[in-house]
A = this chain, B = another copy of it.
Amino acid sequence: MIKVTVWNENVHEKTNAKVAEVYPEGIHGAIAAGIAGDSFQIRTATQEQPEHGLTQEVLDDTDVLIWWGHKAHGEVADEIVNRVHQRVLDGMGLVVLHSGHFSKIFKKLMGTSCDLKWREAGEKERLWVVDPSHPIAEGIGQYFELEQEEMYGEHFDIPAPDELVFVSWFEGGEVFRSGCTYHRGQGRIFYFRPGHETYPTYYNENVLKVIANGVKWAAPVRTAKPVYGNAQPLEKLQAK
């Protein structure tokens, strides 16, 4: 059973009545409830908790971490970011959602600015599957639509993804690489675009299906821990 920790900064929910209305249990609560049907063991954590709820113990007991943040990226402690970073390199899966593109942890793992275009206009988004062999697209039709979403547009300043699963079409004329996978160290990362806080995106069954698929895809595999540093030769060297 995959152990999932759903992390949310949980700030909009407390400061914006509209968001509180859409997500009365918080975005983390909606996601946790929405993927509960799968065989996951789920907990949630939020930024206001001690150590942002991401103690070493919690992370060591997490197979896949889901990350939603936006307004308070800058207030996430570097020490916690470094701790999450190390856990990803050590094999923990990471699913970064929507505005998490600008989180410290995503930027640190990508090495780029992770900047993009955006617009809050409640426009239509249509996500097209461009890799129909990918497990993250399982159970999804050739595309799915979100009637109202924030627009994210190219250029998205990320490394070319190892695998590109979804590309979004926006009513206003933009496109976006919306489902991107990466391998980093022993860990795997899935970035998934949708999920502006004022829309009920995390109740959408396609969105929840993709997140659940992403969790399964990113779950750790028991590979050998790489050995680094000074190494004795495995073969006899010629004297020189």
Q: A137-B221, A171-B235 are in contact. Are A132 and B155 (CB under 8 A)?
A: yes
* Contacting residues, chain B, for A61 (C-beta < 8 A): none
Within 8 Å of chain B (Cβ to Cβ): is A119? Answer: yes
* Contacting residues, chain B, for A74 (C-beta < 8 A): none
Within 8 A of B (CB), among A136-158: 137-142, 147-148, 151, 153-157
Within 8 Å of chain B (Cβ to Cβ): is A33? Answer: no
Instruction: Give per-residue flags for A57-91: 1 if the beta carbon is below 8 A from chain B beta carbons, else 0.
Output: 00000000000000000000000000000000101
Instruction: Give per-residue flags for A166-181: 1 if the beta carbon is below 8 A from chain B beta carbons, else 0.
Output: 0111111111010000
Within 8 Å of chain B (Cβ to Cβ): is A232? Answer: yes
| Structural contact, B174 and A133, CB atoms closer than 8 A | no
In the complex, identify which listed stretch (A14-22, A38-46, A122-130) lies at the interface while the others stay far away. A122-130
| Structural contact, B151 and A231, CB atoms closer than 8 A | yes
* Contacting residues, chain B, for A227 (C-beta < 8 A): 117, 142, 155
Within 8 Å of chain B (Cβ to Cβ): is A164? Answer: yes
| Structural contact, B113 and A233, CB atoms closer than 8 A | no
Q: Pick the contact of A169: B174, B224, B237 (CB < 8 A).
A: B174
In the complex, identify which listed stretch (A1-9, A24-32, A47-55, A184-192) lies at the interface while the others stay far away. A184-192
Number of copies of this chain that the complex holds: 4
Chain A contact residues: over half helix, strand or loop, or mixed?
A: loop
* Contacting residues, chain B, for A231 (C-beta < 8 A): 117-119, 151, 153, 174
| Structural contact, A173 and B183, CB atoms closer than 8 A | no
| Structural contact, A121 and B174, CB atoms closer than 8 A | no
* Contacting residues, chain B, for A221 (C-beta < 8 A): 133-135, 137-138
Number of interface residues of A (CB under 8 A): 80
Q: A132-B223, A226-B142 are in contact. Are A89 and B112 (CB under 8 A)?
A: yes
| Structural contact, B237 and A132, CB atoms closer than 8 A | no
Within 8 Å of chain B (Cβ to Cβ): is A37? Answer: no
CA distance A123 to B185 in the complex (A): 28
CA distance A230 to B186 in the complex (A): 36
| Structural contact, A164 and B153, CB atoms closer than 8 A | no
Q: A153-B231, A223-B140 are in contact. Are A133 and B185 (CB under 8 A)?
A: yes
